[in-house]
Structure 1
Amino acid sequence: MTSALPFDDFRNLLANLPAADTAAETRVRTLFAKADKPGNSLGRIEDIAAWLAAWSGRAPPAVTRPLMAAFSGHHRVTR
């Protein structure tokens, strides 16, 4: 549903999100734990993969249509 008020569409989407799939998140964390690698050698990628699995419901998660948004600003605007 759309409205004329700013950000109401986003608020409605966020209010109706389904619950995270904790089983998918656990499966991904287990796969990383079983991997033959030094501890924390992949840095934050393990947390990102677990988060993506939880919210996509897919373990392991797959990124099939990546999209990137870049935002920039100029901090001298206030001068």
Structure 2
Amino acid sequence: NEGKLMRMHTAVRLNSAIRIKSGSAALIIINFPAPPSKLAAEENYMEYLEALTEGLDRVLMVRGSGQEVVTIYS
């Protein structure tokens, strides 16, 4: 339970920082947090996402592959 509380506290703090820095932005793009591996944790995951995006008008969550690709032209 302490781990869940810490994650929610982190989501609330991050939401606050986003609202301060980008609250007036037309679109906020953030990294999509990885979903839980256990099916039982899905409810907490959705609560986490709600806390992360609360009060933000437009949020686009992007999930990458975790592997950076660098080319000679970048």
The question of a shared fold, defined as TM-score above 0.5 by the shorter chain, is answered with no
Which structure exhibits the higher relative contact order, with contacts defined as CA atoms closer than 8 Å and separated by 6 or more residues?
A: 2
Of structures 1 and 2, the larger Rg is shown by 1
Q: TM-score, normalised by structure 1?
A: 0.29
Q: TM-score, normalised by structure 2?
A: 0.30
